[in-house]
Amino acid sequence: MIFFEWPETYLTNISKFDTQHQKLVSLINALYVDLVSCQNISQKQPVIVEALLELIAYSFYHFEAEEELMILYEYPGYMGHKEEHDQFKQQVSQFVKEQSEGTLILSFPILVFLKDWLTSHVLTTDMQYGPYLNERM
């Protein structure tokens, strides 16, 4: 089952980051499969939380890799880009906090948020660094 497809038009032409973006899509799809395959909420929650934590950890790893390269090549849009990453981190950290407090049941709206955020971020913000970094690497 595929929830999120990643067409070639989403490529930044920076191989390392394109591969990482595709891994993020794969993790979102795995989260989707986990969600739809669970029979009940008590079964679903631990599986979904584990998948979400893996997705978050990989997202943070990816953000760090992007930011390091932007700093190295003095990308002029670095601060705005980092700010978007930081806002995403705050949002997903809030999801995890609410989950641990029992006030959030992970479900499709979170998947939609993850898909929409990644798509929007890559197609707008990440596409801006592609040409700049490709000229300097």
Query: 54 CB contacts (<8 Å, ≥6 apart)?
Result: 27
Q: Is residue 19 part of a domain?
A: no
Q: Could you give the C-alpha distances from 77 to 125, 127, 134, in angstroms and in order?
A: 9, 11, 15
CATH of the domain at 98: 1.20.120.50
Q: Is residue 58 part of a domain?
A: yes
Instruction: Give tens-digit pLDDT for 51-69.
Output: 778 888 999 999 999 999 9
Percent of the chain with pLDDT over 70: 91
Compute the half-sphere exposure of residue 19: CA atoms within 13 Å on the CB side of its CA.
Answer: 5
pLDDT surpasses 90 at 19: yes
Q: Is residue 113 part of a domain?
A: yes
What number is the average pLDDT over the span 12-29? 94
- Cα separation, 89 vs 129, whole angstroms: 20
Full-prediction pTM beyond 0.85?
yes
- pLDDT at position 105 is 62
Number of domains observed in the structure of the chain = 1
- Cα separation, 82 vs 100, whole angstroms: 27
Return mean pLDDT, the chain.
Answer: 87
Residue numbers of the domain that contains 58: 41-136
- Cα separation, 92 vs 110, whole angstroms: 9
Q: Is residue 18 part of a domain?
A: no
What number is the average pLDDT over the span 2-17? 92
